[in-house]
Amino acid sequence: MASHYQSPYLREDSSSPRILMKRLREIMAEDNSAQARLDEITRAIAFTMIADVCSIYLRRVDDRLELYATIGLNREAVHQTRLDWGEGLVGQVAKTGQPLNLDRAPEHSAFSFRAEVGEEDLQSFLGVPILRTGKVIGVLVIQNRQQRLYREEEVEAVQLVATILAEIVAGGDLLEEADKADLEQLLQKPEHFHGKPVVSGVVIGTAVHHQPPPPAHKIFADSVPHEMQRLEEGLASLQKNIDVLIAKNEQLSGVSREVLEVYRLFAYDKGWRKRLEEAVLSGLSAESSVEQVQNENRKKMRTVKDPYLRERIHDLDDLTRRLLRILTGQGNGDQLELPDEAVLLADSLGPAELLDLDREKLRALILAEGSDNSHIAIVARGLDLPMVVDLPDVVERVHDGDQIIVDGQSGEVHVRPPAETLAIYQSKREFFAQSQAELAAERALPSVSKDGVAISLHMNAGLLVDLPHLHSTGAEGIGLFRTELQFLIGNNLPTSAEQENIYRTALEQAQGKPIIFRTADLGSDKAADYMRLDRETNPAMGWRGVRMSIDREGLMRPQLRALLSAAGGKELNILLPMVTTAEEVLKAREIIDKEIERARRNDRLLPTKINVGVMIETPAAAWRIDDIARYADFLSIGGNDMAQFFFAADRESARLSNRYDSMHPAFLSFMKMVADKARYSGKSLGYCGEQAADPLMAMALIGIGIYRLSVPAPSIGPIKRVIRAMDVGHFRQWLEPKLALESRSLRPQMLTYALEQALPL
């Protein structure tokens, strides 16, 4: 047997995979001991893979890897040979969670010789991790005497077997009772992760996935014809559902018609159907077949260079989840039911998806990817929802129902925490609540520095539920009311009357404090289900903001009508987003004038004063801010977009979000130029970027002459404390020479300055 090295996956006869699945199913059906089953499985794998050796190592509670079964090595080493975590080639596979394929294994630096196993004459080595919910629970190894690298098809075959082994092992069918308990303890061990903090707060809650995995299901088919029938019925149901949805509405769940057509294409794809059928014929259940093909698709799509095509992984995954829900009797998926004190885990999430969840139960958010300036982060801050990102392992390895601790200040996440960790964070949560109470007690204190410089502190908002924060934080007003959120959370365009009701209620609840209403900044990643927007190569710099508004007066005019009516008898502040040139301001003001004239003709009560402001979010607008200021009553820097355009770095990109710091002297110098030009024009200038929520960045903005800040509600108190403790004149003298001389972020030096000045960061 050892003299042949052609993989059965490369033979013209493709029956070998089916034979292996059939043999594994037969082994599991036999009335044998767990050890006998393991021995038979290793024998079947070795025969199919034409390997001289096949071994299975399983992870114990102490994280050591124990040889549980082998064909080709010394049988007396079974249950006697144990490797430390990371020891030897097997330990490397376990530690990295990645396959290891070697043609000269003894020459590898990690090779560890164990005389008792009898592998002196073996050269080739292929080890793949046995993974359960992202956690390594063992290693599957095949070896040969001949020096050779295993082919890609062979690696894939062994990975498939390892996937099936993981399910069988986790199900307990290959373990004795004591070992089952050990495995359960291993899977339930406390784990600690460290991600990127986005929104502060301490939460002790219950984990729930935004896309929960399908319930447990059979791995092997009891009856291949029956599973084939279930698959066919599931596919037919899936295709019918998608056809109905496309006929009913061109857009669904925030995806464009193009994506829906991709769903339909995949659902009807004959190649996809054939691969699913082949997996069932090999002896897998319908659910396992769908999961197997899903893994194959993911691997293939990730090798595609085109970014748009790579994004279709999400389409494939969504289609797979739909089919799995049908097969497992979950239907097409209703709105997610959250447990009390819910901590939501997701790969990614849009603002509208977040707003659609039960706010009474949702306590924290963990994302596999994301950045602190993304729109989902902005909404989470507005909701005062603790949030940590850049944690793909947590999303993959946490089970629904696990107890979980989220520290939005440090970025730490504890899963299934031990009692001592739980006690520590219960105390920290109480301390955080006490600190928040102390800040609330200071809300009436003026925001004035030690040397008498008054800083106007406003808060950001977007929903009526944000309004109570206006008074509880002591903010002077709402410096940015994001009206587009009302367009994103519904199934239809909000009517003028619906918008008017929201704006009127907001003004009433503000009790005389000013509100700056930004007209709907739609486009880019902010589009509702019902909107028909063309796919753009670079949507952040595409048809969005005021560009869309002046092109589609039918979108802007009803909103202006609602604002004018809601503010009747009061002062109204309107802010235009994403302005690039003065011409855009003029066109927008023409539309505003049309609605003012319309209100006059209809004898409507107009606002006592109408102020039209402009958001400076592009370098072009910043460079010619003096031109724009001629047609604006006030100015606001949109720091989030300004920073991403200044650095040419997508703020939604997890890879770039940490590369460029808004406290870089180049960006701060640019902002100082804007502040100086605004001052010369005689127009007030504010800063609405989420970066100002960072007390150090707020200090830097004050130092360059920006004295009106609009930040998330939770940041009002901490920033006011810093302002009241700082000497603006002294800090400006310290800062100005560094803007001209330094070439790196000023954050470390600013932190040192703040500590030396005993500022309460």
CB-based contacts of 586, cutoff 8 Å, min separation 6: 631
With tokens 């007003």, the residue in question is: 477
Distance CA(690)–CA(693), nearest Å, equals 6
Is 688 a known active-site residue? yes
| Run of H or E residues at 422 | helix 419-441
SS3 state at 385: coil
Cα–Cα distance between 533 and 550 in angstroms, integer? 16
Is 471 known to be catalytic?
no
Q: What is the DSSP string of 64-132?
A: -EEEEEEESS-GGGTTT-EE-TT-HHHHHHHHHTS-EEESSGGGSTT----GGG--TT--EEEEEEEEE
Identity of residue 262: V
Amino acid at 379: V
Running DSSP on this structure, what letter comes out for residue 398? P
Q: Which residues pair with 197 in a beta bridge?
A: 388
Q: Which of 474, 483, 439 is nearest to 760 (CA)?
A: 439
Q: Give the span between the Cα atoms of 342 and 350, in whole angstroms.
A: 18
Cα 685 to Cα 676: distance, rounded to the nearest angstrom: 10
DSSP string for residues in 229-276: HHHHHHHHHHHHHHHHHHHH-S-BTTB-HHHHHHHHHHHH-HHHHHHH
The answer to whether residues 125 and 143 touch, using CB atoms and an 8 Å cutoff, is yes
Rounded CA-CA distance 64/137 in Å is 10
A 10 A CB-CB count for 154 gives: 23
Q: Which run of H or E residues covers position 388?
A: strand 387-389
Residues 6 or more apart in contact with residue 629 via CB below 8 angstroms: 614, 635, 677, 678, 681, 682, 683
Which member of 54, 414, 664, 688 is catalytic? 688
Instruction: Please tell me the distance from the alpha carbon of residue 759 to that of residue 753, in angstroms, as a whole number.
Output: 9
Amino acid code (one letter) for 287: E
Q: Quote the DSSP letter at residue 460.
A: E
C-alpha gyration radius of the chain: 31
Six token digits for residue 299: 């691997």
Identify residue 158 by its one-letter amino acid code: V
Question: Residue type at 687?
Answer: Y
Question: What is the sign of the dihedral through the CA atoms of 213, 216, 221 and 223?
Answer: negative
Strand bridging mode 478-482 / 456-461: parallel
Strands 135-144 and 53-59: antiparallel
| Contact (CB, 8 A) for 146 and 51 | no
Q: How far is CA 670 from CA 383, 642, 646, in A?
A: 31, 10, 9
Q: Residue 457 in contact with residue 442, Cβ under 8 Å?
A: no
Distance (Å, whole) CA 238 – CA 630: 58
* Dihedral angle, C-alpha 475, 476, 479, 482, nearest 10 °: 50
Point out the catalytic residue in the list 210, 375, 458, 664: 375
Active site residues: 375, 688
